[in-house]
Amino acid sequence: MAAEGLPIGRRRRFWRRFASHRLAMWAGWLLAALVLAGLAGPPLGRAFGLDGEAVNLFGRLAPASLAHPLGTDELGRDLLLRLLEGGRISLAVGLAGALLTALIGTAIGLAAGYAGGRVDALLMRLTDAIIALPLLPLLIVLAAVDLTKLGLPAALVEGGLASVWRIVLLVALFGWTTVARLVRAAVLSQKERDYVRAARALGAGPWRIAVHHVLPNVASPVIVATTLSIGNIMLTESVLSFLGLGIQPPLPSWGNMLTNAQELIWQAPHLAVWPGALIFLTVIAFNLLGDGLQDALDPRGDTRLQ
Amino acid sequence: MAGYLVRRLLETLLLLLVMSFLIYGLIGLMPGDPIDLMVSADPNLTAADALRLKALQGLDVPLPERYWRWLVATLSGDLGYSRLYARPVLEVLGPRLLNTLLLMGTSLALALVIAVPAGILAALDPRGPVDNTINLLAFAGFSMPSFWLGLLLIILFSVQLGWLPAGGSASIGESGLLDRLRYLILPVLTLTLLTAGTFIRFVRAAMLEALREDFIRTARVKGLSTTAVVIRHALPHTALAMITITALHVGSLFSGALVVETIFAYLGMGKLIYDAILGNDYNLALVALLLATLVTLLANLLADLAYGWLDPRIDYGG
Amino acid sequence: MGRSWYATILACGLALLLAGAGQAAPDRLTIGMTQYPSTLHPNIDSMAAKSYVLGFTHRPFTQFAADWNLRCYLCTELPSLEAGTAVIVEHADGTRGVRTTYTIDPEARWGDGTPVTTDDVAFTLEVGQHPDTGVSNAEMYRRIVDLEIVDDKTFILEDEKLSFRYDAINDFRLLPAHLERAVFEADPKTYRNRTLFDTDPTNPGLALGPYRIASLDSGGFIALERNPEWWGEPPAFDEIVIRTIENTAALEANLLSGEIDMVEGSLGLSLDQAIAFEARHGDRFQVFYKPGLIYEHIDFNLDNPILADHRVRLALIQGIDREALSQQLFGGRQAVAQTFVNPLDWIYTDDVPTYHEDLDEAGALLDAAGWTEWRNGIRHNAAGEPLRLTLMTTAGNRSRELVQQVLQSMWQRIGVDVRIQNEPARVFFGETMRQRRFPALAMYAWISSPENVPRSTLHSEEIPTAANSWTGQNTPGFRNARMDELIDEIEITLDRDERAPLWHELQRIYATELPVLPLYYRADPHIWPLWLEGVEPTGHLAPASLGVESWRVRDGG
């Protein structure tokens, strides 16, 4: 996915560089495995007659066994299935949040860089302002705001996945500034290049130029920034869960599983160890992946002091 | 230069004004006002009582008008009373602000002390074993949920080893500096572990950038030792990056300390803002949030000024 | 040399820093809880944390003690009709009021030595009746139509309504007139922000209990010291420190690391956390589960057409295994409830319909109610509508969220599709419950005092509507003429023996009609060290701290 939009020759070089970045490769495999497990796990479980939501009051906090490879949680549900289900939600929040962030950021960056002048000044002031905002308190206010008062339909606000959408939206609303700055800078540098001038001379509209000529060239930094932000968003979700404003049960997420396990830490440490470790590993993996991508996409990446 | 400063300060003020309006509105949009909660909990409160209490706390007038009243009062220097603590806002805020500055300042300084050498070492050996190890540690630092890290540290150092207090700001009845320090260690350690990683990455990137510059290549060609190159030429160059990251982090530490403060029962701004927001304490929440924003904006302004001082290529004209 | 010198200094510094806080001095007791009082004024805002602190520092006139009987704390004896210290007043409209005589304990004095007099009583009433002070229990002050000062120590209150609880003035908390009058009279409207209880909380003159406040850090701790002017039995500890730690996992860690000695149950660990704690640390701590007047239940919204059908409500209660829930999730510490009346309350009767898990019966009832068609494991009616109910509770309350998920999975067995939708407490109570906006089921708790008349929760006039500005707590929307009569009658029946049958009939109606699904009575886990004895948690609204005089270090402990 990462190399989309790069010319063929550069694509091969990208893979070579990326493959040479051992840690990033490992991180990539780990993430692929986690995503696959999250997607395939619950349907597979159901196929075998296992249900991650089936409560069994008489099998609470059971240790690992053949039937429950990681044991059960405080309601006797299979921990492995819960982790897979929770992983799916946590990863979905991270990915959706990062994508939306990138989308908003790119749009604003393009607009600012392209329009220039007053629009640019205004958008960049806005960016500065948002960067200066104390993020967490604002997320708290927004997470508690009654969205129906803003005229949103109740069905959207109150559905089962509502807490997921809310978090994705909130994170994107404040997270776009990095991408916007990157894209703006790239646009400014590309705008005056010969091929863009040529395209313009040939009568291409600004939209066409932006999409066909400028965007492919700003893709690299955006991809890197987006990959790096996935981990951050997952951490934000866990913190919001800690504050009681995250993903609401019965939907599991690694964040709320970890939060719930706090009180049982002495009695059932495995309940806390697994989601904690998974968040930790996943976030590290996304960071390493981003790091590897940066190296592979940055033509000067192999500078070495010998 | 003076013109630039004035313009930036005006912008800051304008931003604060807009923010105050937005925050006031957002708190107003949060459902369930405190009087409603009282009514639902107390069967003896009549409708008339509820209205009277609302009027008493000024909650009976529409939101825009309430905001206007608040603004006028604030501009005339009357910050009002905190609803939650029944004390003047500044009286509540003052000690909390000091606590947070102490916590933030210490962990920020510590993070820099760790990050600068680590970042340089990593940059000197890109993709080598040193770099990889430092990178991995740096990533590990900011990949942990903060509340989780805090709890683990409490379990290790307070419960298992019994070395350090698990929470609070000071022993009761003691006012010694040493006592304060004992209570600071764990929260500072948590915050430092969480921020040092980011700092290391920044220093490393800035250093790598600097090492690629022509003048450094020239210096190296001239035969200067690596240490000399780094200290004399590259380090000053990374100062810019350090200033940026520090300024940016002031803001996030302000609010990011919330979780650490909750876990360690440390009385700081993060927790205060959180409680004020959830308690519909308009006066307190607004002043605290605006203060946090102001500090961040000023930090950014200082960073920009320092840029100009360190890097004469930047021009503040216009 | 230089280097080793530095190392020595560093090592010394570290050793000093890391030196443990040492064992808690036996003359100091540190108590942890999860809340900090927003104000220390006795009559403004009511919250559990404040009432706990005031239990040490500020005694009420009357309150229910740990044995659930009403007790005089500041007065010499409770007024009674038999002794003539309470006299019934006949009003022109046929209703009756009552005049009660109280005598202040002759020894009672404020922490600065000023004797407590009827002047304080008059001042407290003045503050309570002033429209702009924002006191919490305005209703009580409104009902006091006359105060007659007999002498410095004796006064007579006239309550415009006679009830069997005529002898209690639990919420009439005295204010020190010699300190607060000047503050109040300067400007009653802003009194709540200027009261000495908050601006000068360590003023000794505010103390009216065995302890007074020595120092505090708002949001962090309140340190108490002996009140030298205390006239009652002296308490055992020189100092009591109350620390606030909101995070329950951190609270437990503080207990284990020895920084707090005990945890107040109503503001402490969750029940399953405490059960696990006891299993590991029962050799160091006493964990005492006090079952109390905290009634966890699920409100049915009776305006919901599905739930308006009595058969559906019966099916729902028989579709769940409350015994297993209580046994497995709470170690059997929380008794299953049949009505809102706790078996510990004297008005309790077991002669009511009781329900146990019976899936066949539940299924039959749902069939009879027209929910016959199964599709995808969910019952539907003839019109094709699914049997789908929304279950709401307070978000972030772990115990309730667990119970909720168990219930959801139990109801699934009888084909009821329960959707969970939770809200933060302030939204859930402040708006959804208050305005009866919950679509079907809502789980929460009522906390009350012994023999509490359920007027506000069961009388048909107490259904919150827009017309009464959403006051009243009859959130299910229960209307039952006989229930209304019983409530009215119980309130004015003075004789205990005559009240008993009325109470029993009321419980029977409740258990038969099921406006509410009873779950269990909550038990608060109180934790204290084994070396401490004499602590008696009350299990109702009055705090255990009212009995601090009997707390002491166990012999040889």
Closest approach of A83 to chain C, Cα-based (Å): 17
Say whether pLDDT at C450 is over 80: yes
pLDDT over 50 (residue C12): no
More confident residue, B308 or C403: C403
> Chain A: nearest CA to B65, how far in angstroms?
19
Residue C82 has pLDDT above 60, yes or no: yes
Residue range A269-289: mean pLDDT, rounded = 90
The count of CB pairs under 8 A between chains A and B is: 137
A146 in contact with chain C, both atoms CB, cutoff 8 A: yes
pLDDT at site C3 = 47
Long-range pairs, C276-284, Cβ under 8 A, ≥24: C276/A264, C276/A266, C276/A267, C277/A266, C277/C252, C277/C525, C277/C527, C279/A267, C280/A266, C280/A267, C281/C256, C283/C530, C284/C529, C284/C530
Res. A300: pLDDT tops 70: no
DSSP category for residue C109:
B
For residue C218, the chain B residues in CB contact (below 8 A) are: 85, 87, 92, 267
Q: Is A48 part of the contact surface with chain C (CB cutoff 8 Å)? A: no
With a CB-CB cutoff of 8 Å, which residues 156-195 of chain B face chain C? 158-159, 162-169, 171-173, 178, 181-182, 185
Q: Residue C486: which pLDDT band, with cuts at 50, 70 and 90?
A: very high
Q: Which pLDDT score, from 0 to 100, does residue A296 have?
A: 81
Asked if pLDDT for residue B95 goes beyond 70, the answer is yes
Facing A244 at nearest CB: one of C276, C395, C405: C395
* Chain A residues 256-285 with a CB less than 8 Å from chain C: 260, 262-267
Residues of B in contact with C455 (CB under 8 A): 43
pLDDT band at residue A132, thresholds of 50, 70 and 90?
confident
Q: pLDDT tens-digit profile of B199-243?
A: 888 888 888 877 777 766 777 777 767 777 777 777 777 777 777
Q: Residue A137 and residue B15: Cβ atoms within 8 Å?
A: no
Q: Check CB contact of A250 with chain C, cutoff 8 Å.
A: yes
Contact criterion met (CB < 8 Å) for A262 and B125: no
Asked if pLDDT for residue A182 goes beyond 90, the answer is no
Q: What is the pLDDT of residue A298?
A: 66
C426 interfaces chain B, CB cutoff of 8 Å: yes
Q: Do C17 and B36 touch (CB under 8 A)?
A: no
**Chains within contact range of chain A (3+ C-beta pairs < 8 Å):** B, C
How close does chain A come to B70, measured CA to CA in Å? 19
What's the pLDDT score for residue C288?
94
| Residue A265's pLDDT band (cuts 50, 70, 90) | confident
Choose the mutation target among B82, B90, B158, B160 for the interface with C, i.e. most C CBs under 10 Å. B158
Condensed to tens digits (0 to 9), the pLDDT of residues C461-481 reads 989 888 877 878 899 999 999
Mean pLDDT of C15-35: 66
- Cα–Cα dist B190/B180, whole Å: 16
CB distance C257 to B302 below 8 Å: no
Residues of B in contact with C138 (CB under 8 A): 44-46, 49
C329 and A57 within 8 Å at the Cβ level: the answer is yes
Set of chain A residues whose Cβ sits within 8 Å of the Cβ of B30: 141, 144-146
Within 8 A of B82 by CB-CB distance, chain C residues are none
The tens digit of pLDDT for each residue in B42-58 reads 766 777 777 777 777 77
pLDDT in tens, C150-206: 999 999 999 999 999 999 999 899 999 999 999 999 999 889 889 999 999 999 999
Q: What is the pLDDT of residues C243-271, one digit of tens each?
A: 999 889 889 999 998 889 999 998 999 88
Q: Given a cut of 80, is residue C99 above it in pLDDT? A: yes
Mean pLDDT of chain C: 90
Look at residue A306 in the predicted model and tell me its pLDDT. Answer: 28
Residue B208 with chain A: CB contacts under 8 Å? 303
pLDDT at position C54, please? 96
B7 falls in which pLDDT band (50, 70, 90)?
Answer: confident
Please tell me the predicted confidence (pLDDT) of residue C251: 92
DSSP C208: B
Nearest chain B CA: its distance from C385 CA (Å): 32
pLDDT of residue A184: 87
Task: Give the gap in angstroms from C-alpha B155 to the nearest C-alpha of chain C.
Answer: 7
Is the pLDDT confidence value at C16 over 70? no
- Asked if B220 is an interface residue toward chain C (Cβ–Cβ < 8 A), one would say no
Position C115 confidence tier, pLDDT thresholds 50, 70, 90: very high
- Provide ipTM, 2 decimals: 0.83
> Does the structure show a pLDDT above 60 at A295?
yes
With beta carbons less than 8 A apart as the criterion, state whether C80 and C167 touch: yes
- What is the structure's pLDDT at A146? 62
Chain C neighbours among B 261-280 (CB < 8 Å)?
Answer: 262-265, 267, 271-272, 275, 278-279
Which pLDDT value is given to residue A301?
A: 44
Q: Specify the range with the lowest mean pLDDT, choosing from A106-115, B119-128, B174-183.
A: B174-183
Whether residue A305 and residue B124 make contact (CB cut-off 8 A), yes or no, is yes
Q: State the best of B12, B63, B131, B147 to mutate against chain A, taking most chain A CBs within 10 Å.
A: B147
Q: Is the pLDDT of residue C1 over 50?
A: no
Shortest alpha-carbon distance between residue C253 and chain B (Å): 6
**Inter-chain CB proximity A263 and C272 less than 8 Å:** yes
Residue contact B43–C131, C-beta within 8 A: no
Chain A partners of B278 at a C-beta cutoff of 8 Å? 140, 144
Mean per-residue pLDDT for C100-110?
Answer: 96
Which 3-state string (H, E, C) describes chain B?
A: CHHHHHHHHHHHHHHHHHHHHHHHHHHHHCCCCHHHHHHHHCCCCCHHHHHHHHHHCCCCCCHHHHHHHHHHHHHCCCCCECCCCCCEHHHHHHHHHHHHHHHHHHHHHHHHHHHHHHHHHHHHCCCCHHHHHHHHHHHHHHCCCHHHHHHHHHHHHHHHCCCCCCCCCCCCCCCCHHHHHHHHHHHHHHHHHHHHHHHHHHHHHHHHHHHHCHHHHHHHHCCCCHHHHHHHHHHHHHHHHHHHHHHHHHHHHHHHHHHHHHHCCCCCHHHHHHHHHHCCCHHHHHHHHHHHHHHHHHHHHHHHHHHHHHCCCCCCCC
Which residues 385-424 of C are in CB contact (within 8 Å) with B?
424
Residue in chain B closest to C190 (alpha carbons) equals B56
- Residue C556's pLDDT band (cuts 50, 70, 90): low
Dist CA C399 CA C268 (whole Å) = 13
**Mean per-residue pLDDT, C379-383:** 94
pLDDT at residue C23 above 60? no
Burial label for B143, CB within 10 Å (0-12, 13-18, 19+), is: buried
Q: How far is C556 from chain B (nearest CA, A)?
A: 25
What digits encode the pLDDT tens for the residues C137-158?
A: 778 888 899 999 999 999 999 9
Residue B32: pLDDT band with limits 50, 70, 90: low
Name the neighbours of B, counting chains with at least 3 Cβ pairs within 8 A: A, C
Asked if A249 has any chain C CB less than 8 Å from its own CB, the reply is yes
What's residue C97's pLDDT? 93
Whether A159 has a pLDDT exceeding 80, the answer reads: no
**Residue among C247, C325, C409 whose CB faces A53 most closely:** C409
C197-246 pLDDT, tens digit per residue, is: 999 999 999 999 999 999 998 888 999 999 999 999 999 999 999 999 98
- Predicted confidence at residue C21, as pLDDT, reads 40
